[in-house]
Structure formats: C-alpha cells, structure tokens
Chains A and B, each alone.
Chain A
Amino acid sequence: MFATPTILVVGDLGQIWGKLDWVEQICGDREREGFGAEELEFEYEFVAAQGCCGHCEQLDGSIYRGPFIVSEFPFAVQAGEEVWLVGYHPNCQCILKLRNKVEGAVGLLYGELVVVEG
C-alpha cells in the first residue's frame, strides 16, 4: 500500500502560514499543469496484444520507467494520459500502461516540495 508522504511545516505562526501558502500554490500549479508522462517516477507495464509476435510476448509484463520509453521504444506514441502505443513493428497493437499514476504523481509533487541544493 502506498503511504502518503508527510509534510512537516515548522516555524512560528507567520512562517507556517507562509509555507502552507507555498504548498497550496504548488498543489494548485500541479493540478492545473500535471506532470510530463516521461517522468522517472512513472512506471509502465508492457501489455502484449493477443497473438502478437514472439518478441512482444517475451516483453509482456515488463516494467519500464517513463524516460526509458523514449529510448527503448523509439516509435512509441502516447495514446492517452496513461497509455502508450508501442509501435514496435507495423500493425503492433501492444501498449505500455501506466501502473502507478497516483503514487508517481504524489512522489513528484513531494519532490517539488523538497528543494534541491544548487
């Protein structure tokens, strides 16, 4: 089960209020803009179409992180928010299906709240 990250907000009342405003702003931005489908946090499962080629059948059930879709499947086309058409060969009906939408998005959101030095 995915555990929701806990955000600790410390400071005096004024600082806490400011930080909560900041969190609210980031949440609002992400609700509007969303996250790119190729983010590392997102995991996609290869689902081979019935009767597809032997190569695709071997890949059935494999898990790929977002950025690897581009490198592993250069002909892949995003067909929806959660689905990529693999396009491994002509008439290929296999798909890559997002399997951790909420966890990945929450992880990315949480990552945004933690500022990286530099």
Chain B
Amino acid sequence: MSQNIMLVIDRSQLDALRAETKDSLDDTKAAKTEAASFLENEGEEIKGAEQAGKRIAKMYVPGAREVLSIQKSIGKLSAGNLMGAAGLMSLALVLYQKLQVYYEEQRQRFQKLEEDIRQQQGYNREQFNLWYSQQQTAMASSYQRPINR
C-alpha cells in the first residue's frame, strides 16, 4: 500500500494577494465601465468641447463666428455633465497614481533582480537580457499551457 505525502500549505499570503488583485481589477473594470458609459452618453458634448478647445488654442484673432461656435459647444455641457466629467477625471487620476506606484515598484524589483542575477551568474548586460527574454518566453508559455504533471 502506497501513501502519499501530504502538504499543508499556508495560503494566507496568496489569498491576500488574490484579494488585492481582485480589488484593483474591480476598480479598473468599474472605471472602464464608467468611462465607457460616460463616453457613450456624453461623447458628442466632449467632442464639441474638444473642438472648441482646439479652436481656442488656434484662435489668434477671434472672429464673431468662432466665438458663437465655442459658446454653442460649451453650452451643451450642462452642470450635471461637467460634474460627471470632473468625477471621471479624478477617478482617472487615482488610477493613474496607483499605476505609477505599481510600475515604479516593478521597475525597482526588476533592477534588483538584474543586479542579483548578474552578480550570481556573472552575466554582462547582454547575457542578462538574453536570459531574461528566455524567462519571459517560458513564463508566457506557462500561462497558456496546461500544467505538465
């Protein structure tokens, strides 16, 4: 009779990481949905405002027709729409800041990894880049392939 050796795994860190990732993912999805809905509903007004803004930027000598056009475009943005746009902007800013922090962490981790690997393996930068691209290929395929048991 053969017995298997059981392993009790502490998955608390993994669970926490999954929860954190899911929260971030939900935030992003919610922001995307809100942005898509906003663009769908207010797209014309945004387009109008954008065109008006471009005209302002290009307008060296404003003529009466241009002024009327700008007023018309801006007039389409009601107070409610402006609030929605401001909310969306602030949400986008929060997401952008989060992503900046995330990318900075990733960049620092990568630098540390490069230093460690180069020190351990005695790689120069070119050899490290080759090694890293092989790792990336392996990881990308590991995401697509079934587990090899």
**Most chain-A Cβ atoms within 10 A of its Cβ — which of B18, B21, B138?**
B21
Q: 8 Å CB contacts to B: which residues of A70-118?
A: 78, 80-82, 98, 101-102, 104-106, 109, 112-117
Are B4's CB and A115's CB within 8 A? Answer: no
Are B143's CB and A18's CB within 8 A? Answer: yes
Query: Chain A residues near B143 (CB, 8 Å)?
Result: 11, 15, 18-19, 22
With contacts A13-B24, A114-B142, A115-B142 taken as known, whether A35 is within 8 angstroms of B147 at the C-beta atoms is: no
Q: Is the interface of A mostly helix, strand, loop or mixed?
A: helix
A12 CB, min distance to chain B CBs, angstroms: 9
B22 CB, min distance to chain A CBs, angstroms: 6
Query: Chain B residues near A20 (CB, 8 Å)?
Result: 14, 17-18, 21
Are A112's CB and B149's CB within 8 A? Answer: yes
With contacts A17-B22, A20-B17, A115-B142 taken as known, whether A31 is within 8 angstroms of B9 at the C-beta atoms is: yes
Contact flags A15-40 to B (C-beta < 8 A → 1, else 0): 11111111110110011011111110
| 15 further contact pairs, Cβ within 8 A, besides A27-B9, A37-B4, A80-B3 | A16-B21, A19-B143, A21-B18, A22-B147, A31-B9, A34-B5, A36-B4, A81-B5, A102-B7, A105-B5, A105-B7, A106-B7, A109-B9, A113-B142, A114-B138
- Which B residues form the contact surface with A (CB < 8 A)? 1-9, 11, 14, 17-18, 21-22, 24-25, 28, 136, 138-139, 141-143, 145, 147-149
